[in-house]
Structure 1
Amino acid sequence: MGFQRARTDEQRNERRRQILGAAASMLTEMPVSELTLNGLSRRACLAKANVLRYFESREAVLLELLEAEGAHWIAELEREAVPGGGEVRERENRLAELLASSLARRPVLCDLVSAQATVLEHNISVETAIRHKHAVRGQLEALVRFIVRHLPELGDEGASALVRTVLIVVGSAWPSSRPPEALLAVYAADPSLAALQIDFEDVVRHTVEVTASGLLARRQ
């Protein structure tokens, strides 16, 4: 059966979900840098021109996938909320553990975050950029509310600073924690250099603990 153009909103939305699902599947097998529009069209069983009927570029596909992955992460945080009560330091540590472990379980989200500024936000229209930034702002506000519920001592301003710091660290620590084969061989061959290898989850956990403590100290 040949290609059939989607003619209703439901059909068009289904076609978009098909493309996003194909992209998500590919990112479990390869990094963002290796995902091409040609490869995506083959995985989605669509011609390249037909993929571009629904998304203006590869980057637009990945931006929407980033938004979806971010929404899933926030929903997971809400389900696994940090138990209340206890001293501030205890709540800081529990929050740090939750954020670090939940991000480590979401490699696709972390890879997309690390590519957001340098890759995903290029080759898109102003309209797509505006829609994306509104979606991001909504997710950042949801994360701030989540932080404040568990560390109200931070206030909205402190929680916002913590969220921004965590996302910046994810963007830099994730690719650094995924070294190429040559560096893995170096670390295996020379244990004295193994300390240079980054443990992503540990870096995020430590960043949350130290940043939250510093922000609280400044408020006091």
Structure 2
Amino acid sequence: MTETTAEGFVRARRPEQREVRRQAILDAAEALLGELPMADISLRELSRRAGLATSNVLRYFESREAVFLELLARERGLWLDALPSELPPRPQGAESATYSVDVFARAYADSIARRPLLCEMASAMSSVLERNVSVEVVRLFKRAALADNRRLAAILADRVPGLGEAAALELASTVTVLVSGLWPLANPGPAVIEAIEDEDLHAAHVDFAGRLSRMTALLTDSLRR
């Protein structure tokens, strides 16, 4: 059942109707992030793109940041769904002796690099997205993030010989931190892009996937038994 207000807004009543409306708002946020920097996207612009009044968006999300936090959680879940098919299979028997951490690390880094939306939001999580939200929203997000980290660790432990449960958890969480730091360095603003075109500043270029792959390989090698 839906209810039409005096302003013409059709209020979703059933849980499935509310979920459809929530996903439509998240879709609008995702589309905008493909066009504008996150800092330039206001709640008003997000509401306009979703075809709703700002007050109606606030029926589903308490702030702009809450929308992006949930979009981050959605993108992370979609990545985890796809990750097993993007990593090399676990070697069997004698093949384990020739296992290449570098091959695993490159596949892992490439899987992340193919999802710029996930990287962009992960890099803004603590400095932007976890501000202007309530304690309860943060609690829900953190619980979901911890569950996703355990799911990620299980995938990694399944694919990397010698990587135990505790080590896989550490690898999963540490690579997340690496992504958050490397992404903005590899995707700077216009002034930085122009400046590092100078011949003596070429070393300042950051190849996101390449650097993440090397750091992941080093970390994985150190954590294997």
TM-score strictly above 0.5: yes
Deviation at 1:94, TM superposition (A): 2.3
Deviation at 1:144, TM superposition (A): 0.5
Map residues 142-161 of structure 1 onto 2, 5 A cutoff. 142-161=151-170
Partner of residue 60 from structure 2, selected from 54, 71, 74: 54
Structure-2 separation of matches of 1:88 and 1:199: 30
Comparing 26-35 with 196-205, which one deviates more in the overlay? 26-35
Deviation at 1:81, TM superposition (A): 3.4
Secondary structure of residue in 1 paired with 2:196: helix
Is the Cα–Cα contact under 8 Å of residues 44 and 54 in structure 2 kept in the other structure? yes
Structure-2 separation of matches of 1:137 and 1:100: 20
Deviation at 1:199, TM superposition (A): 0.7
Partner of residue 45 from structure 2, selected from 35, 39, 48: 39
Partner of residue 145 from structure 2, selected from 111, 123, 136: 136
Map residues 91-106 of structure 1 onto 2, 5 A cutoff. 91-106=100-115
- What are the Cα deviations for residues 146-171 of structure 1, in whole angstroms up to 9, with x where unaligned? 11011141201111111111111100
CA distance 1:88–1:167, change in 2 (3 Å): farther
Match of 1:167 in 2: 176
More helix by share: 1
Structure-2 separation of matches of 1:127 and 1:74: 25
Structure-1 separation of matches of 2:45 and 2:211: 33
CA distance 1:88–1:149, change in 2 (3 Å): farther
Is the Cα–Cα contact under 8 Å of residues 88 and 151 in structure 1 kept in the other structure? no
Deviation at 1:60, TM superposition (A): 1.0
Partner of residue 187 from structure 1, selected from 196, 200, 208: 196
Query: In angstroms, what is the RMSD of aligned CA positions?
Result: 1.6
Deviation at 1:8, TM superposition (A): 2.1
Map residues 193-208 of structure 1 onto 2, 5 A cutoff. 193-208=201-216
CA distance 1:139–1:203, change in 2 (3 Å): same
Deviation at 1:3, TM superposition (A): 2.2
Secondary structure of residue in 1 paired with 2:12: coil
Comparing 94-103 with 46-55, which one deviates more in the overlay? 94-103
| Structure 1 letter corresponding to 2:175 | V
- What are the Cα deviations for residues 20-57 of structure 1, in whole angstroms up to 9, with x where unaligned? 00001111122322221111011101111110000011
Comparing 190-199 with 86-95, which one deviates more in the overlay? 86-95
Secondary structure of residue in 2 paired with 1:154: coil
Secondary structure of residue in 1 paired with 2:58: helix
Secondary structure of residue in 2 paired with 1:5: strand
Is the Cα–Cα contact under 8 Å of residues 157 and 164 in structure 2 kept in the other structure? yes
- What are the Cα deviations for residues 157-215 of structure 1, in whole angstroms up to 9, with x where unaligned? 11111111111110011011112112222222x12211111111011101110111122
Partner of residue 221 from structure 2, selected from 188, 213, 217: 213
Structure-2 separation of matches of 1:148 and 1:4: 47
Is the Cα–Cα contact under 8 Å of residues 186 and 193 in structure 1 kept in the other structure? yes
Structure-2 separation of matches of 1:213 and 1:43: 46
